[in-house]
Amino acid sequence: MSAGGPESSIMFIAGTRPEAVKLAPLVLDMRAQGRAAVLVATGQHREMFGEALAGFGLVADHDLGVMAAQPDAVVGQLVPMLADLIRRLEPGFVVVQGDTSSTLAGALAARYAGVRLAHVEAGLRTGTDDPHPEEMHRKLVAQMAQLHFAPTPAAAAALAAEGVRDGVHVTGNSGIDALLLMAARLEGDAGLADAAVAPFAHVPKGRPWILATIHRRENRGRRLAAVLAALGELADEAEILLPVHPSPAVAGPVRAMLGGRVGVHLLPPLPYAGFVALMLRSALVLTDSGGVQEEAPALGLPCLVLRDGTERPEGLASGNAWLVGAQRAAIVAAARAVLTDAALHARMAVPALPYGDGSAAARINDVLLRPGPTSSRQRLESWSGSAAHRPQSQAARR
Ligand code: UDP
């Protein structure tokens, strides 16, 4: 296995929007230290990926352009292309993030090419085969990686329960770094803030805003129809803002069921700055997104999770989120309760940081660059899982 010299580069492989958001802080921090970070786009999500990277002033150094509908086709095409690139560039580490087909392909390619592998956001488990294939991807990558960056103590415990104990570091989730970075930029840059809100500047402000996102494979078909029916019903009492995922299996039913409905605002997928601005402005979020489940507590945005189980239980424990599933009546009842009971809303809107404190990238890079004669920084303590600080309450938005 290639050890990589002290000056060798670190290769980051990413393909989807959440991978772009969550690896951007690592790439920025690595480059700020004067270290070579090579960013490889697999092509899995073309526009949403590029847009998310652009929000951080980044572009991919290599774009493999592999876009296929099925995960097996993505993995099958990517592995030899990535292995070839890794052999040519000889990075000291390959870093993959999360649970996508690009994650698995990057991990396999690194190991076939004999280069050390690091997994960011390791150890998230539902303990079931749902979501599929994501849970399987995460478990397989845990068997391959030399370094496992668990966002929370619970994620590290899940790895230990599978016998993965060496090379595990609890760091917080780098998605919280990205969020706090973007929230601060929005606060300090009026031009950016104005541009960010432009896609939803037309939405009336008299009623509360419910932000909704839905895209997961396990929520398609009948479950998606039930969620959309619930959103249609809630439009009688709130403005519904729904950035529509471009997948035809999502966008088709969304337009058929909610297109033209008064009080429902179908938006394009938003650039990251716009989406953060929308979270800051909304009274409630309904989502099946992993990243949004992590971001909402940090912003004090009450969150209803449209799934039957979650690999991110920390937001439930902190009281910021509820698991409501995908039944129409349950979703409507829960959303009404949160919007009409001011005391309940206030409890769920207390900002909390169960997923990270915004220093995950620095902790992860510190480990990646060890032993570090060239790293002058002090080693950072690992993330304890409790908030070192809490962000300011966002109650002003309502
Ligand atoms: N996001 C975004 N624009 C949108 C919707 C979401 O930038 O219109 C961001 C969101 O803030 C989070 C990430 O995309 O950081 C989540 O991605 P997604 O829901 O697609 O994937 P998941 O997190 O479920 O893997």
Residue 397's pLDDT is what? 45
Mutate to test the pocket of ligand 1, among 121, 126, 138, 289 (most ligand atoms within 8 A of CB): 289
pLDDT in tens, the chain (398 residues): 544 555 689 999 999 999 999 999 999 999 999 999 999 999 998 889 999 999 999 999 999 999 888 999 999 999 999 999 999 999 999 999 999 999 999 999 999 999 999 999 999 999 998 899 999 999 999 999 999 999 999 999 999 999 999 999 999 999 999 999 999 999 999 999 999 999 999 999 999 999 999 999 999 999 999 999 999 999 999 999 999 999 999 999 999 999 999 999 999 999 999 999 999 999 999 999 999 999 999 999 999 999 999 999 999 999 999 999 999 999 999 999 999 999 999 999 999 999 999 999 999 999 999 874 333 445 567 777 876 444 444 443 44
Out of 3.40.50.150, 2.40.30.10, 3.40.50.2000, 3.40.630.10, the CATH code matching 190-354 is 3.40.50.2000
Cα–Cα distance between 195 and 181 in angstroms, integer? 17
DSSP assignment of 44-65: SSHHHHHHHHHTTT---SEE--
For residue 203, the CA-to-ligand 1 centroid distance in Å is: 21
Characterize 212-233 residue by residue with b for buried, 16 or more Cβ atoms within 10 angstroms of its Cβ, and e for exposed: bbbbbbebeeebbebbbbbbbb
Q: From the candidates 137, 215, 245, 265, give the one annotated as an active-site residue.
A: 215
Q: Is the CB–ligand 1 distance for residue 17 below 6 Å?
A: yes
Residue 373's pLDDT is what? 39
Q: Is the pTM of this model over 0.85?
A: yes
Residue 130's pLDDT is what? 86
HSE-up of residue 389 (Cα within 13 Å, Cβ side): 6
Which residue is it, tokens 């394009």?
268
Residue 7's pLDDT is what? 67
Q: Where are the domains of the chain?
A: 10-173+357-381, 190-354
Asked whether this chain's domains 10-173+357-381 and 190-354 adopt the same fold, the reply is: yes
Q: Is there a catalytic annotation at residue 345?
A: no
Q: Is the CB–ligand 1 distance for residue 212 below 6 Å?
A: no
Residue among 183, 385, 216 at smallest CA distance from 307: 216
HSE-up of residue 117 (Cα within 13 Å, Cβ side): 25
Is CATH 3.40.630.30 the classification given to domain 10-173+357-381? no
